[in-house]
Every structure is written in C-alpha cells, then in structure tokens.
Structure 1
Amino acid sequence: MKLGPFICAAILFGTLSAAAQDNGLGDDFQTGIDDILVEPLDESGIGFGGDGLSLEDLQNFPGSGFQQELKDITTETQVPVSSASGANLRALDKLTGEVQDLTVVSGQPVVFGRISVLLGDCRYPKDNRSGDAFAYLIVHAQGIEDPVFSGWMVASSPALNAMDHARYDIWPLTCNIS
C-alpha cells in the first residue's frame, strides 16, 4: 500500500486549514499598535480631569458661541384665551366618505355615525374671536366603554393631537361665540 498520496493530502489539508484560520494579522501586516502612546488625563481640574466639569465652568466657558446661540432662541408667549359655549366640528366617515359639519354645545353629546362627541370646552384668543380654536373633545364609539379619544385638538393643527380611529375622523373648525 502506498502512503504517499495520503501524506500529500494530509499536508495539503493542514496547510489549507491553517490558512483559513489566519485572520490577516500575521507578521507581514503592520498595525502600528506598538507605536500608540497612552498618557494619563490632564489633572488640572478644568474640564473632565480632576473635579470634573461644573455648571459654573459651563457658564464661564471661553468662546461662548453656544451661549449666544441659546440667547438667540425665540420663545412663545401664552395667548390669553376665552371660553366659548360651543364649537363647530367637522366629522369624516372614512368608510362611506361622508363629511358633516357638527355644531356642538358644551356638555351636550352629538352623534355622528357610530360615535358620540362631547365638547368639554372650546377656547379662542381673546383679541381674535375668529382666530384659532382649541377644543377639548371626548369621543365614544358604540360598544366601547372607554373613550376612543379624550384631549385637546387645535383647529390650525388638527394632526397635532388627532383621534386615531379606523373609521372616523373629527377635528375642530371654530368656537361658537354667542
């Protein structure tokens, strides 16, 4: 029996398996990892060394460009509002495509399809009676005990706090001032 072909196959197999395990970081690969110099952090007490970074350090930070950016931020003031006795709402039945404008009086539910809408309050800017409307709505669906929506809706931004219902959509238009 000749062992020559088996020995050649064993040597070839051993060489291939060793080559397959080589991760590419052999002696011929220069990583430069030995050239990296590790030094301790600055112990001066300023920044993250020493005692760390304090609020006073941030307030007195040199080159306060970011502080100027903070000063440039505009803020909005709260607009004085008045309450109205009712609201005009628009309701959509997504299944049939029916759109209906509803006049709702505070505290009195109105039915549209299979939902009941109760207006808690409708507020409008004092200095602009025909301005934006802020309506607090509670919406119940037939067969469901908990409300499907309860919260404030803004006429100028109805998607800001929209009712998430598979069939119906509702949003405020104006407050009824009478």
Structure 2
Amino acid sequence: MPIEGLVHRVGDHVDTDVIIPGRYLTLRDRAQLGPHCLEGLDPGFAARVGPGDVLVAGRNFGSGSSREHAILALQGAGIAAVVAASVARIFFRNAINLALPVMVCPEAAAALREGEAVELDPVSGRIAQGGREWQAAALAGEVAAILAAGGLVPHLRGALAAGR
C-alpha cells in the first residue's frame, strides 16, 4: 500500500487536544472533523491539505487523551499517513485501528521538506523524498493486515466471516 503525497509539518508535542479541540468531540464524521484539524495550531492547515498528503511531526506526536477523534480529523482533512520522530503509544494504536499508517523515523521526520512530494511504503518501512531514503520499522504482519482491511473492525469482521 504505497502512499504518495505532499508533506505538511508540525513540531514536537502536538497532543490530541491540538489535533482536534475538545469542542468538536460531539462530531464523529471524518468530513465534519477534517476542517477543524489542527485549527488552533495552524488555522489554514485543513485548507492546504489534499487527499493522500502526509503529516510529518516531531517528538511525542499524539500525546494526551486517547480520543479517536484525532485520527478521524486527520483523515477527514486528507492525511493518508503520519511520519514522526516519536508518537504516543495510544495514538499509534488508535491510528492503526482506524487504518492510518504511522511510521516512526526520527531521521526522516527531521529531514522531510514541507510542501514536497514524499513516497511511503508502510509495509516495508521505506520513506523517500527527492532521491533520499530512510528506513522506518515495517508495519507488517497483523498490523499490515489491519491497515489493508481498512481498520480493526473491518479486519475482525473479515476474520469472523472466514471462521478464524
């Protein structure tokens, strides 16, 4: 499942309250949450993001509450994947459960250039931009199966239907 999109950067310690402010937690629809994604940090963020783009973050991305709304807002804005120096564990798990690949690679997170195209292969861990390449941990095995199915719920439905 290769991903190609433009890079949009944020810094360190962007928590879930910054990704989607608490006043929007009554919403559950990606399309309604997307326009408010990161609005407190960068009011024009959602308007600049195109479908399939990639968010590049610094350290401790997605810390704070365990709200799934943060992932839904990123997806609703058009973000197809996240590359970060480090992520909060609960954010990573929620992202995989909702089929948003998160690749942890401090070197790539520091080097990827804003507004330029990036190529990602979450299954192999490959990240490439402008002739440079980095290697993140591969999202393989059960994680890859969950992502390929469109999230944890569709993955489990498929497994139950197959009698596994």
TM-score w.r.t. structure 2 length?
A: 0.21
Q: Which has the higher helix share?
A: 2
TM-score w.r.t. structure 1 length?
A: 0.20
Structure of higher RCO (CA pairs closer than 8 Å, 6+ residues apart): 2
